[in-house]
Amino acid sequence: MGFRFRKSVKIAPGMRLNVGKKSASVSFGKKGARYTISSTGRRTSSIGIPGTGLYYTKSHYANSKNKPQSTNRQDHTDSYREVAEFNDFINYITSFHKECDYEYDWELMVKEPAPFNTGEKGPNELAALKKLDNYKPNVLEKVFKVLDNRRREALEEDLKKAIENDKKLYKSWQDQRKLFQSILQKDPKAYMALLKDIQFCSELAGFISSFQFQASDGDTLIIDCNININDVIPTHYKTLTKTGKLSIRKYNKTDYYVIVKEYVSGLTLRIARNVFGLLPIRSAIINVQTEVLDTQVGKVDNITTLSIKIDKTTLSELNFDLIDPLDALNNFEHNVRFLKTCGFQPVEKLSG
């Protein structure tokens, strides 16, 4: 019988130090994406698929000498399940355009009634009053009056807190209604407040690392977003041999960039669908940026690889289950340069 020793200590927000019997590691990241660097040289990126329970893990070694010569992992893994999970992941990251995360009806939402009428008792106060009115001392409380007094004082204190909670509830409804009205009036400041409050596209955490928004008027929103490619798109694919064994092979450049193409363009359309489902705007300019290594200077640059202006009317007419996401971009004004064996190339941003 053996024992495994492992201790995990939080050393900073989002960062933990993990100490095991044979090695140590540091992990960092947020929900949907975690990165781990081990003292053995192993580096692991884990990307979760929200709402599915599935995840994709990509590992490599900083120094090939540290890579183990043999492993029992394949011997103990259900090859069929592993290939199925891999295919599910590829299907997921190339089908972002088929889903939409927001469908807000602001006309209906602004008509939501108040939680209670002014001058009347709120739901929290009514519930607290009911408890106070229904209170009957037990045998001990009847004998020891001090216990009865304490119980009544506690119920009266609960009543005071309930009244305060009703005030907060009503104010929250007022603030919410004011925001809804501002959005219907196409107030850019209200747009910015909403996008921040709901953490726009948080469902895609791990795939999109950051957003920046600009709204000079109430009809057009400019979105700059950073899309993760290297930490998401696998460089190797998994299949089964004729004997049912797991086979892992490296993608050729053409097949690899087909996945990159569908991933980036699909995410772009998903962002557009989300923003139109959230805000009453007519068009959105989306600038997609990715990190690319400049081998001449050894520096990672953040470059724009796709800039597109999408109008809501045309987008709503697309059959998202049948389109090729990159081909669908031709329905809109856009700048893109995609090479089959090199992927997306730098382009200029469209003017707002």
User: Of how many residues is the chain composed?
Assistant: 352
Q: Distance between CA atoms of 94 and 320, rounded to whole angstroms? A: 12
Whether 344 is covered by a domain: the verdict is yes
Q: Do 178 and 215 fall into the same domain?
A: no
Whether 123 is covered by a domain: the verdict is yes
User: pTM for the full model?
Assistant: 0.72
User: Tell me, what's the pLDDT at 10?
Assistant: 56
Whether 194 is covered by a domain: the verdict is no
Tell how far CA 230 is from the center of its chain. Answer: 18
User: Tell me, what's the pLDDT at 234?
Assistant: 95
Whether 69 is covered by a domain: the verdict is no
Q: Using alpha carbons, select from 34, 38, 26, 36 the residue that is nearest to residue 63.
A: 38
Q: Do 335 and 225 fall into the same domain?
A: yes
Q: Do 40 and 141 fall into the same domain?
A: no
The residue out of 149, 164, 189 marking a domain boundary is 189
Whether 301 is covered by a domain: the verdict is yes
CA distance to 87, 186, 317, 327, per residue, from 236 (Å): 12, 47, 36, 25
Q: Do 163 and 292 fall into the same domain?
A: no
Q: Do 1 and 112 fall into the same domain?
A: no
Low-confidence residues of the chain: pLDDT under 50? 1-6, 50-54, 64, 70, 72-76
Q: Do 178 and 129 fall into the same domain?
A: yes
Q: Do 142 and 156 fall into the same domain?
A: yes
Whether 272 is covered by a domain: the verdict is yes
User: Tell me, what's the pLDDT at 44?
Assistant: 65
Whether 196 is covered by a domain: the verdict is no
**What is the domain extent for residue 24?**
1-63
User: Tell me, what's the pLDDT at 127?
Assistant: 94
Q: Report how many domains make up the chain.
A: 3
Sign of the torsion angle spanned by Cα atoms 82, 85, 89, 91: positive
Q: Where are any strands of DSSP class E within 255-313? A: 283-294, 299-311
The residue out of 41, 63, 85 marking a domain boundary is 63
Whether 68 is covered by a domain: the verdict is no
Q: Using alpha carbons, select from 193, 255, 231 the residue that is nearest to residue 46.
A: 231
Q: Do 212 and 323 fall into the same domain?
A: yes
Q: Distance between CA atoms of 144 and 142, rounded to whole angstroms? A: 6
Q: Do 162 and 302 fall into the same domain?
A: no
The residue out of 158, 189, 220 marking a domain boundary is 189
User: Tell me, what's the pLDDT at 302?
Assistant: 85
Q: Which amino acid is at 29?
A: G
CA distance to 94, 109, 145, 180, 186, per residue, from 176 (Å): 36, 9, 46, 6, 15
Q: Do 58 and 87 fall into the same domain?
A: no
Q: Do 97 and 111 fall into the same domain?
A: no
User: Tell me, what's the pLDDT at 126?
Assistant: 94
DSSP code string of 40-91: TSEEEEEEEETTTTEEEEEEEESSGGGS-S--STGGGS-HHHHHHHHHHHHH
pLDDT in tens, 157-191: 999 999 999 999 999 999 999 999 999 999 999 99
User: Tell me, what's the pLDDT at 240?
Assistant: 92
Residue 30 near residue 205, CB atoms below 8 Å? yes
User: Tell me, what's the pLDDT at 157?
Assistant: 92
Q: Do 97 and 245 fall into the same domain?
A: yes
